[in-house]
Amino acid sequence: MQTKKRSAILLLTIIMMLSIVLTACGGNNNTAGTNNQAANNGAANGAANAGASDTSEEATIKMLLVGGKPADYDQVFGELNKLVKEKINATVEAEFLDWADWSQKYPLKFAANEDFDIVYTANWAFYNDQSLKGGFLELTEDLLSKYAPQTWANMPKVAWDQAKVGGKLFMVPNNNVEITDKVVLIREDLRKKYNLEPVTSPETYAAYVKAIAANEKGINAFQAKAADGWKWHELDQIMLEQQNEWNLVDYNFPLAYKMDDATGKVFNVYDTPEFKQLLAYYKDLADNNGWSRNVVSNKNDVWQDIKAGKAASYAQNIGTVAANIMEATRENVGIELAIADLTPDKKKISAISTQNGLAIHATSKNVERSLMLIDLLQNDKQIHDLSMYGIAGTHYEAVGEDKYNAGPSAANYSPSGFSAWGWNSALNRQDAAYPKVADDMFNTWTSKVYHFPLETFVFDDSKVKNEVANIGNVMLRYAIPLEYGLIKDLDKGQADLIAQLKSAGIDKVQTELQAQIDAFLAAQK
């Protein structure tokens, strides 16, 4: 029996070794291939640099985009290809990674080194990760100024700087002014019904929440969206960041600096008097039934709840809230909504450019032509309109130079269907039905945008990956219940949270972050 077992294990070992050897060979071939390709690219670049860009040979550029394939893809991209063919002698083929599963497929496409040239990326779509792993081609000033000259000229320097990872650029960010400040969508009719002051501050909002909680049975005064791993109370961006003019470096750990602090000193937001105060504020709302006791387990869509009259406020970015109001008007749902900015006088931060962008695959064989295409997508009015909004008269109706109305078959090619946002630019059109209040609010914000040295700073967490992973877990487990008022003793809860963060290694992250910030500021002087 013994010998039998031993021989079984032996057999197994042999097979495993065999398989390792087999794959190792395969793997080596693979890497060799990659290196060759990279070398070829280099050579191609060198050659191209020597003369004018050579487009004599027709190229097919494969794009990897995120989102559902539009129903009229063939039609629109057919038109697009006519233009692209004429301008840079190339055709475009797009592959769409569906919203349902893109985050699983996206890294695999790189791991298997599949064939594609341009790929959508963003700070929330693997940008840092793939940059560090070598998935993207580094974009040098040379390449950009030569093959994407308009983009290179039109893009603000801040946008390029924000897109750098470890000092290197891997993305052509979108060129679009956005402000990430969150606002609250409220029920204006209910506010009037209870004669409440306009909601413009945390205090007036608290009054609104309490009034509704006390008088309207069956309505959650505040509702959070279904939990998806977000590690904060949904009002935190407003109440903690915007209200105190702090900037959280990364929402995956609770470290922030003051926007106007030139030294960029980092601190743990949970360990501040402001947070303590905020906890009391939240607890007060929770104790007054401002939100459901099961708010963290919510599985419903908040906006649907609001539309159905089951929830009376939620926090979201201004564009989405404006879209909600458009939808409510369109469908005539019989409730009156309003946008409440709880921090109107505070400094605003413009969104980081890496919210959306396009990158070039590290092993692309069409680097120059890909950059040319990106240049066209961002800056050529005709191509931009076509790729973003579809065919005029069919998918959209142009209204002036910068607005549009949905066309008869808008559903078959819509700007919200897939990640065409990767080439957002000044040429973007706005939906003509966009509520004026939202537009006005946005315009006043742009005048309050605050620029500060650290706005281009991006944290490289590769040395503290383990700690960041554990901190995230602690936040979900200890911070969220505490903030939603589910823990009776606030002081003890806060002390627990801080202690747990310490053992998860927040100090190490803080030290690393501070060191990177100091180095960054020193380099800027």
Partner 1 sequence: MNRNGLLGEIRKNRALLLMLAPAVLFFLVFAYVPMAGIVLAFKQYNHTGGVFGSPWNGLDNFRFFFESGNAWLVTRNTALYNIAFIIVNNVLQITVAILLFEVAGKWFRKIAQSVMFLPYFISWVVVGAIAYNLFNYDVGTINSILTTFGMEPIDIYNTPSYWPVILVIVSAWKTLGYGTVMYLAAITSIDTEMYEAAEIDGANIFQRIFKVTIPNLYPTIIILVLLAIGNIFRGDFGMFYNMVGNNGLLFSNTDVIDTFVFRSLTTSNEIGLSAAVGFYQSILGFATIMLANYAVRRYDKDRALF
Partner 2 sequence: MSASATQTSSKAQTAGKRRGTDVLLLQIIGYIVITVLAVFCFVPFLLVVSSSFSEEQSIIENGFQLIPTTFSTEAYSVLFKYPEQMLRAYGVTIAVTAIGTVAGLFLTAMTAYVLQRKDFKWRNQFSFFFFFTTLFSGGLVPWYLMIIKYLHLKDTLLVLILPMLLNVFYIIVMKSFMSSIPEAITESAKIDGAGDFRIFMQLILPLAKPALATIGLFIALGYWNDWYNALLFISNENLMPLQYYLYKMLGNMEGMRKAMMQSGAVVNVSLPTESLKMAMTLVATGPILLAYPFIQRYFVQGLTIGSVKG
Which residues make up the interface to partner 2 (CB under 8 A)? 4-5, 7-8, 11-12, 15, 23, 26, 30, 66-68, 95, 98-102, 104-105, 108, 111-112, 114, 122, 124-125, 178, 180, 225, 228, 300-301, 303-305, 307-310, 316-317, 319-320, 322-324, 326-327, 351, 355-356, 416-417, 419, 421
Angle between helix axes 381-389 and 73-88 (nearest 10 degrees) is 160
Report the partner that residue 440 touches, choosing among partner 1, partner 2, none (CB closer than 5 to 8 A by kind).
none
For residues 268 and 355, which CB has a smaller minimum distance to partner 2 in the complex? Answer: 355
Report the partner that residue 322 touches, choosing among partner 2, partner 1, none (CB closer than 5 to 8 A by kind).
partner 2
337-340/182-187 β-pairing: antiparallel
Edge-first strand order for the sheet with 90-97 is: 90-97, 59-66, 118-121, 357-360, 171-173
**Which is nearest to 44 in space by CA: 145, 135, 153, 143?**
143
* Contacts with 309 (C-beta within 8 Å, 6 or more apart), sequence order: 219, 335
164-165/168-169 β-pairing: antiparallel
For residues 67 and 453, which CB has a smaller minimum distance to partner 2 in the complex? Answer: 67
Report the partner that residue 515 touches, choosing among partner 2, partner 1, none (CB closer than 5 to 8 A by kind).
none
Q: Which residues pair with 93 in a beta bridge?
A: 62
3-class DSSP state of 117:
coil
Contact in structure between 185 and 235 (CB atoms under 8 Å): no
For residues 123 and 494, which CB has a smaller minimum distance to partner 2 in the complex? Answer: 123
**DSSP structural state of residue 476:** I
Binding of partner 1 by 27 (CB under 8 A): yes
**Which is nearest to 360 in space by CA: 32, 63, 54?**
63
- Helix locations, 89-171, DSSP H: 102-111, 127-133, 141-147, 149-154, 157-162
For residues 219 and 278, which CB has a smaller minimum distance to partner 1 in the complex? Answer: 219
Report the partner that residue 134 touches, choosing among partner 1, partner 2, none (CB closer than 5 to 8 A by kind).
partner 1
For residues 329 and 466, which CB has a smaller minimum distance to partner 1 in the complex? Answer: 466
Site of tokens 């009037």: 192
Report the partner that residue 477 touches, choosing among partner 1, partner 2, none (CB closer than 5 to 8 A by kind).
partner 1
3-class DSSP state of 162:
helix
Binding of partner 1 by 118 (CB under 8 A): no
Report the partner that residue 419 touches, choosing among partner 2, partner 1, none (CB closer than 5 to 8 A by kind).
partner 2
Q: Contact positions toward partner 1, by CB under 8 A? A: 8, 15-16, 19-20, 22-24, 27-28, 30-31, 34-35, 107, 110-111, 113, 126, 129, 132-135, 218, 220, 227-229, 252, 292-294, 296-299, 362, 461, 465-470, 472-473, 476-481, 486, 503-505
